[in-house]
Structure 1
Amino acid sequence: MNRFFRKFRLVSIDVFIYHMVKHNEFQLPKFKYTIQRENIHNKTRFFIKDLNTLVHESYVFKKVFLLKSIHKNGPVIGDCFTNKKYRGQSIYPYVINSVAKWLLESTCNEVFVVVNKTNESSIKGIEKAGFVKLASIKAKRWLWFYSKREINYFNRK
């Protein structure tokens, strides 16, 4: 029951939003893993397994309410995880770059990644994958409502 009530608490949000509008090729020499895909309700899971060990997984969400704060809409790559044993091999940037390529070629003209500002290793991987920082958002969230938003844009033309 406690888990149920946690969904109703007020949450502080302090994130960067990255985007990609044109695919930037990401090369890894001798990449031995195959990225698999499965649809789960309103999201798609992209993952890599080495025998029975989960190496990496990333999800694509069709709709994220936070993007409305910057007047954007599109798929968001998130909830990414790389097994500690496999970190440092550029698997994360390779996967999100491959996912962005698939999305840009098939369904949309812009792909987003939302990342916590304190997650330095993910930020490094996102930038290595070719995503560009679009905005930062600081806000309070209750359910899917956002208040006290502070939005800063980067490289706005």
Structure 2
Amino acid sequence: MRDLSGSEFFFLVQKTLFFNEPILIYMKSVLQAESHYLEAIAGIECIKGNSSDLEQIKKSLKPFPWEFQCHDFDGVGDFFVAKDISGVQHISWIYFHNHRNRLLALQEGEAEIKFCLTLPAWRGRGIYPRIIQMIVNYLNCKGMQRVFMCVHRDNLASIRGIEKAGFSRVGDIRLRKILGVQVSPRFDTSRVL
């Protein structure tokens, strides 16, 4: 903090107190989605996760990323992981219309894939779009109609993965928070035809 100029310090305080970021919204119709053949990724297994996967990552990774704790924060239970012999390398969570902490006002029959994280050693290997496609296939079997994803406009790697998985951009919002409290309205997915 001692090395910050006055303007840098002010910017840091402002960024901490007031959050105003551009978010892109993507969608895929699950009903029209074909069940894709998902090519295997050497040395990695992609599966629906369970509590033992979360326990394993909690024991092996310090610090423990918050993306692995959505079951505690938001009460969600459905997630997919990618694992190698050393453990979990990726996680993606599924939120339904009755879960909190969303940017979207989901309707019945809709889901959102969010809080996805690939650990640095496995980035760029195609895990993210593969997991997304697996989740879409899973949601198709559960009778869901549409699935959404939100991503920061500047997160180009995630945008490529989302688009590679067959999602189309359907809107955008500005996520605004003051003192950590979201003040921007949720995007109403019923507006998307």
Q: 1:90 aligns with which of 126, 130, 147?
A: 126
Aligned residue for 2:49, secondary structure, equals strand
Q: 2:159 aligns with which of 96, 118, 123?
A: 123
Task: Give the whole-Å Cα distance in 1 for the aligned partners of 2:35 and 2:164.
Answer: 11
Task: Give the whole-Å Cα distance in 2 for the aligned partners of 1:132 and 1:84.
Answer: 26
Task: Give the whole-Å Cα distance in 2 for the aligned partners of 1:129 and 1:67.
Answer: 20
Tell me, yes or no, if the aligned pair for 1:59 and 1:79 is still in contact at 8 Å: yes
Gaps of 5+ in 1: 1-7
Distance verdict in 2 for CA 1:65–1:89, change over 3 Å = closer
Tell me, yes or no, if the aligned pair for 2:175 and 2:182 is still in contact at 8 Å: no
Distance verdict in 2 for CA 1:20–1:9, change over 3 Å = same
Q: 2:86 aligns with which of 27, 52, 72?
A: 52
The one-character-per-residue Cα deviations of 1:14-50 (angstroms, maximum 9, x if unpaired) are: 1111011132444443345131323732342211221
Tell me, yes or no, if the aligned pair for 2:38 and 2:130 is still in contact at 8 Å: yes
1:30 aligns with 2:44: no
Distance verdict in 2 for CA 1:125–1:61, change over 3 Å = same
Aligned residue for 2:104, secondary structure, equals helix
Tell me, yes or no, if the aligned pair for 1:13 and 1:141 is still in contact at 8 Å: no
The Cα of 1:126 is off from its aligned counterpart by 0.2
Aligned residue for 1:121, secondary structure, equals helix
Query: Which has more helix, going by share of residues?
Result: 2
The Cα of 1:56 is off from its aligned counterpart by 1.1
Tell me, yes or no, if the aligned pair for 2:28 and 2:147 is still in contact at 8 Å: yes
The one-character-per-residue Cα deviations of 1:29-83 (angstroms, maximum 9, x if unpaired) are: 3345131323732342211221233221111122454223xxx433211111112
Task: Give the whole-Å Cα distance in 1 for the aligned partners of 2:161 and 2:50.
Answer: 23
Aligned residue for 2:137, secondary structure, equals helix
Amino acid at match of 2:167: F
Gaps of 5+ in 2: 1-15, 52-70
| RMSD value, Cα | 2.7
Tell me, yes or no, if the aligned pair for 2:46 and 2:131 is still in contact at 8 Å: no
Distance verdict in 2 for CA 1:87–1:66, change over 3 Å = closer
Aligned residues with identical type, % of pairs: 26
Q: Could you say which residue in structure 1 is the equivalent of 2:183?
A: 145
The Cα of 1:87 is off from its aligned counterpart by 2.0
**Could you state the TM-score of these two structures normalised by the residue count of structure 1?**
0.74
Task: Give the whole-Å Cα distance in 1 for the aligned partners of 2:130 and 2:138.
Answer: 12
Query: Which has more strand, going by share of residues?
Result: 1
Q: Could you say which residue in structure 1 is the equivalent of 2:6?
A: none
Q: Could you say which residue in structure 1 is the equivalent of 2:63?
A: none
Amino acid at match of 2:91: E
Q: Could you say which residue in structure 1 is the equivalent of 2:23?
A: 15
- State the number of aligned residues: 141
